[in-house]
Amino acid sequence: MSQSHPSQSLSQALSRLDQLTNWERKPRGEMRVGLEPMLDLMQRLGNPHRSFRAIHVAGTKGKGSVSALLEAGLLRAGWRVGRYASPHVDRVNERVSVLGMEVEDDALAKAIMQVLDSYESAKQAVTAGEDATWFDVITAAAFVVFRDAGLNWVVVEVGLGGRLDSTNVVFGEVAIVTNIGLEHTEILGTTREAIAREKVGILKPGATLVTTLAAGDAAGQVLQQRADELGCEALRTDLPADATIAETNIALVGLVFDHLGRRGETVRDASARRQPIGAWLLEPAVVEKARLPGRMERFDFTLPPALRNGRQTLPIVMDGAHVPFNIEAVLRDITRSADVGGDCVAIVVLASDKDAPGFLEVLSRYVAHAVFTEASGSGRAHAAKELEALATSMGMACESEPDPQKALDLGVAKASEGGGWILVTGSLYLVGALRGTVLGSAE
């Protein structure tokens, strides 16, 4: 079965699901008021969210990569593991990982149909579940899949915020807050402290908080305060300020594994003689296995003959970074590596709820030329022309082209002229729109 063409049963389930409100595509500015719709669905489905142990992951950036590392490490330890993530790059199955593999079409279709039946029952009974959203249903379906697969552990990535996110019906024995930056400010609050309050909403009595944020940091203080109120232990990474994104993620996950090992969790492997779980699980093969599409993903794009100019290929890096502190870290890490050289040409989409001036200010310091475009899926993107006008006012060399494929062509032509490289960034929807083309060329 082709990766990009779902089975008939999954297509039918998704078309039935698409009639529901999709929070990811809604204009921001409104936030759900409670978890009652999700809790109603869970009850109607026999509480699948209680069938597995969970690690819950929130944060402005790095949730996906941290979740993938946790999953890979726990699989290496011999546990039956699942992972729930969002959004997807190429297809919806990416959101639900079972034993390290994307969920099968038919298993996902069956679970979605089951949840939609519960939603219909809630509508008839006029109970809270009648207000379930698209994301509620996908989340509930993931939990049904995990229960049916008989998993021990599930790594659950928060969709948006934490406190009121659909995933917050689970009890995360470990609650991770990767970091806090200004994002979704019209929903989560306009300060890092306010956003921290929403994200630490995943912490529950009896759980352990793990974060990269120092106790002295303004947002870190909010996390510590909440941990103290609930009587929860708080663990922090201790890293130099110039640690790379990869080093930070590995340190955070290592802290979680060491904690689980101290709590008596062991490797499920007869030959290991009940060896405690620990940071040692993060060996190179495990880290490699945890790589995700659209996160610092590098390709060698084959240039058309007319643009070769002495070289056959052009480096393209794809990363869905969309907040200033993260694009800064991404560009810093890429430019430190010897993998790319010459000027950077960026192809950029930004959702309308993102800090465009802050994002472009960072880009202007690293990027020689930007091509602004648009990608369907986010439903609330800045128009390419708007971004071009803003960037021009900031003194950036740039142009706009609403069609992402044409924007890629423009970027390739520009980068090949100057012997540079391309960064596709600002949105995982843009990565999804262009990744097939780039993959096809790199093969």
pLDDT digits (tens, 9 = 90+) for 159-215: 988 999 999 999 999 999 999 986 555 555 568 899 999 999 999 999 999 999 998
**Residues 339 and 236 grouped into a single domain:** no
CA angle 208, 213, 218 (to 5 degrees): 115
CA distance 146 to 420: 45
Q: 323 and 240, same structural domain?
A: no
What are the phi and psi torsion angles at 345 (to 5°)?
Answer: -110, 120
CA 136, CA 167: separation in Å to the nearest integer? 8
Q: What pLDDT does residue 270 have?
A: 63
Whether the per-residue pLDDT at 385 is higher than 80: the answer is yes
Statement to judge: residues 335 and 198 lie in one domain? no
Same domain, 282 and 311: no
Query: Comparing C-alpha atoms, which of 56, 58, 24 is closest to residue 133?
Result: 24
Same-domain status, 366 and 382: yes
Kindly report, residue by residue over 248-270, the tens digit of the pLDDT: 999 999 999 999 999 999 998 76
From 272, 289, 306, the end of a domain falls on: 289
Is 88 within a domain? yes
Same-domain check for residues 252 and 327: no
Do the domain assignments include residue 32? Answer: yes
Q: Is 70 left (phi over 0), alpha (psi -120 to 50) or beta?
A: alpha
**Position 3 confidence tier, pLDDT thresholds 50, 70, 90:** very low
The model's pTM is: 0.89
**8 A C-beta contact, residue 319 and residue 294:** yes
The three-state DSSP-derived secondary structure of 344-398 is EEEEECCECCCCHHHHHHHHHHHCCEEEECCCCCCCCECCHHHHHHHHHHCCCCE
**181 vs 119, residue with greater confidence:** 119
Q: Are 230 and 377 contained in the same domain?
A: no
Other C-beta atoms closer than 10 Å to the C-beta of 5 total: 11
- The model's confidence at residue 323, banded by pLDDT at 50, 70 and 90, is confident
Q: Are 331 and 370 in contact (CB under 8 A)?
A: no
pLDDT digits (tens, 9 = 90+) for 27-61: 444 555 689 999 999 999 999 999 999 999 999 88
Q: pLDDT tier at 335 (50, 70, 90 boundaries)?
A: confident
3 state SS for 194-254:
HHHHHHHHHCCCCCEEEECCCCCCHHHHHHHHHHHHHCCEEEECCCCCCCCHHHHHHHHHH
How far is 323 from 54, CA to CA, in rounded Å? 28
196 and 235 assigned to the same domain: yes
- Token output for 357: 């001036």
Q: Quick one: 174 and 229 in the same domain? A: yes
Question: CA-CA distance, 133 to 109, in Å (whole number)?
Answer: 17
CATH number assigned to the domain comprising residue 50:
3.40.1190.10
Q: Is residue 424 a contact partner of residue 433, using CB atoms and an 8 Å limit?
A: no
Q: Which structural domain, as residue segments, surrounds residue 329?
A: 297-442
Q: Do 405 and 271 share a structural domain?
A: no
Q: Are residues 105 and 252 in the same domain?
A: yes
Decide if pLDDT at 325 tops 90: no
Q: How large is the greatest C-alpha to C-alpha distance in the chain, in angstroms?
A: 69
Domain count, the chain: 2
Q: What is the C-alpha separation between 84 and 380, in angstroms, rounded?
A: 24
In sequence order, the 6+-apart residues with CB closer than 8 A to the CB of 285 are: none
Whether residue 1 is contained in a domain is answered as no
Specify if 2 maps to a domain. Answer: no
Query: In this predicted structure, what is the pLDDT of residue 28?
Result: 43
Q: At what angle do helices 105-125 and 134-148 cross, to 10 degrees?
A: 120
- Cα distance between residue 413 and residue 212, in whole Å: 40
Decide: helix, strand or coil at residue 296. Answer: coil
Domain's final residue, options 230, 265, 289: 289
Can you spell out the DSSP letters for 163-180? TTSGGGGS-EEEEEE---
